[in-house]
Amino acid sequence: MRALTLLGDRQLELLDTDPPPPPAAGEVQVRVKAVALNYLDVWGFRGMAFAKRKMPLVVGVEASGEIAAAGPDVTHLTPGQGVVMYGALTCGTCKACRAGRDNLCENVGGIMGFHVDGFTRDLINLPARLVVPVPDGVSLRDAACAPIGFATVQHMLFDNAKLEPGETVLVHAGGSGIGTAAILMAKQIGCTVITTVGDDAKAEKAKALGADHVINYKTERFEGVTRKLTQKKGVDVVFEHVGAETFNGSLLCLKRGGRLVTCGATSGPSTTLNLMQLFQQQYRIIGSFGATLKNIAESLDKMAAGLKPVIDTQVPLAEFERGLERLASRQVFGKVVVTL
Ligand SMILES: [Zn+2]
């Protein structure tokens, strides 16, 4: 079978490897159909110093597929059924896992495709508990964007920031995979959405997705525009993932008691914080990473109800690297999906 493997920094090779054995008890074997790309793939490809990882490494952190075979005791998943896979090897037995908080697992075996072998291969064996069925009416291409793209946003906006109908939210980088998902999910429950983009073409696309106000951060200061749009009150929630370049401006956009939720730092990981501002304004700053299995099911349900992920580009397996370049480019609007 094929396995797209990282041999060293920026060295990807499509290897011919042995298929996995038949699934053991408690496992399923999945035939991978689509892999959605994320910044984790870009960092992994370039080689990030912080990543303790096995090498060579099968890449791909987010994917969908079909059940190829089920272990002897697995009855709720049947061959041919569409599924998506959880992106980390969690234990299923620690306190966090038992509470359904897999993204806080105390014994996590690593992020698939980043620390340990990932999904860009024809067949993979996995614990059945880490596989979530795809509902009818959702394509495997779209479903591939559920485990990270949609579920991360579901977790950030609803579990963590507790976004409610009628509230105002500032979504940074509205053209990114998670930015597009955040716009869609916030609009779906009747929020007012302000978003930032880097050029006018993206501004049009963000408006078409439903954003109420779009700020071109290259030509306008987003914090000034946001305060003006909210009559100087500020927004209820800021959806952060840009990091150093925007973090302090984001805090200035919050109303008193507002919530900032962040899952990324693509522009850099360090900033300074005015602690007086933090406590006097009673801000809540919430770190968010990954998602729960429930968030993945919720995301797939949203897709089944018509909330489709925005797909920027679909490429075949042979063009995985071109997909990564597209994702890392400033032109991308939505997700990049690789089909196997
Ligand atoms: Zn655990």
- Residues lining ligand 1 (ion), CB within 5 A? 90-91, 94, 97, 105
32 C-alpha to ligand 1 centroid (Å): 25
Task: Compute, in angstroms, the gap from residue 10 CA to the centroid of ligand 1.
Answer: 32
321: helix, strand or coil: helix
The CATH code that applies to domain 150-287 is 3.40.50.720
C-alpha span between 182 and 149 (Å, rounded): 10
Quote the strand ranges of 41-130, DSSP E: 57-58, 63-70, 82-85, 123-127
Instruction: Give residue-wise pLDDT tens across range 238-249.
Output: 999 999 999 999
- Crossing angle of helices 320-328/39-46, nearest 10°? 110
CA distances from 194 to 63, 120, 263 (A): 30, 35, 18
- Output the CA 297–ligand 1 centroid distance in Å: 19
Cα distance between residue 332 and residue 336, in whole Å = 8
Is 217 exposed, middle or buried, given 0-12, 13-18 or 19+ CB atoms closer than 10 A?
A: buried
The label of the residue with tokens 């397996």 reads 317
Determine the straight-line distance between the first and last CA of the chain, rounded to whole angstroms.
Answer: 11
Q: Kindly give the distance from the C-alpha atom of residue 103 to the centroid of ligand 1, in angstroms, as a whole number.
A: 8
How far is CA 51 from its chain centroid?
A: 19
Residue 18 CA to ligand 1 centre (angstroms): 29
Ligand 1 centroid distance, CA of 136 (Å): 30
Q: 107 CA to middle of ligand 1, Å? A: 5
Q: Within the chain, which residues score under 50 in pLDDT?
A: none
Cα 171 from Cα 241, distance rounded (Å): 9
Cα(91) to centroid(ligand 1), Å: 4
Domain map of the chain by residue range? 2-145+309-339, 150-287
Q: Cα(100) to centroid of ligand 1, in Å?
A: 9
pLDDT reported for residue 50: 61
Contacts of 307 (CB under 8 A, 6+ apart): 184, 185, 188
Q: 129 C-alpha to center of ligand 1: Å?
A: 12
pLDDT value of position 163: 98
Query: If phi over 0 gives left and psi between -120 and 50 gives alpha, with beta otherwise, what is residue 290?
Result: left
**Architecture of the structural domain at 2-145+309-339:** Alpha-Beta Complex (3.90)
Find the 150 Cα to ligand 1 centroid distance in Å. Answer: 22
303 Cα to the center of ligand 1, angstroms: 28
How far, in Å, from the CA of 194 to the mean position of ligand 1?
A: 37
Residue 81 in tokens: 């059924």
Distance 131 CA to ligand 1 centre (A): 15
The secondary structure of 202-215, three-state, reads HHHHHHHHCCCEEE
**What is the chain's length?**
340
Which pLDDT score, from 0 to 100, does residue 269 have?
92
Would you say 226 and 194 are in contact if contact means Cβ atoms under 8 Å apart?
yes
What is the CA(94)–ligand 1 centre distance, in A?
4
112 alpha carbon – ligand 1 mean position (Å): 15
Confirm if 27 and 332 have CB atoms less than 8 A apart.
Answer: no
pLDDT digits (tens, 9 = 90+) for 315-325: 999 999 999 99
**Spatial separation of the C-alpha atoms in residues 263 and 291, rounded to whole Å:** 11
Could you give the CA distance from residue 183 to residue 332 in angstroms, rounded to a whole number?
16
| pLDDT tens digits along 54-93 | 889 999 999 999 999 999 999 999 999 999 999 999 999 9
Distance 13 CA to ligand 1 centre (A): 32
User: What angle is formed at CA 146 by the lines to CA 143 and CA 148, rounded to 5 degrees?
Assistant: 140
Q: Residue 319 corresponds to which tokens in the numbers above?
A: 């063009």
d(CA 118, CA 242): 25
